[in-house]
Amino acid sequence: MNIVLLGPPGAGKGTQAKRLSALLGLPHVASGDLFRAILDEETDLAREVRSYMERGAYVPDALTITAVLDRLSLPDAREGFLLDGFPRTLPQAAALDGWLVERGRQVDRVLYITAPAEVLVERIAGRIVCPVCNTIYNLSTRLPKRDMVCDIEGAPLERRSDEEPEIVRFRLQTYLRQTQPLVDYYRSAGKLVEVDGSRPMDEVTARIDRSVGLVSEDAS
Catalytic center residues: 13, 88, 127, 160, 171
Query: Do residues 69 and 95 lie in contact, with contact meaning Cβ atoms separated by under 8 Å?
Result: yes
> H/E/C letters for each residue in 45-107?
HHHHHHHHHCCCCCCCHHHHHHHHHHHHCCHHHCCCEEEECCCCCHHHHHHHHHHHHCCCCCC
CA separation for the pair 83, 3 (Å, rounded): 6
Query: Do residues 61 and 92 lie in contact, with contact meaning Cβ atoms separated by under 8 Å?
Result: yes
Collect all residues with Cβ–Cβ distance below 8 Å to 12 and sequence separation of at least 6: 113, 115, 197, 204
CA separation for the pair 210, 206 (Å, rounded): 6
Q: What angle do CA 109, 120, 112 make, to 5 degrees?
A: 10
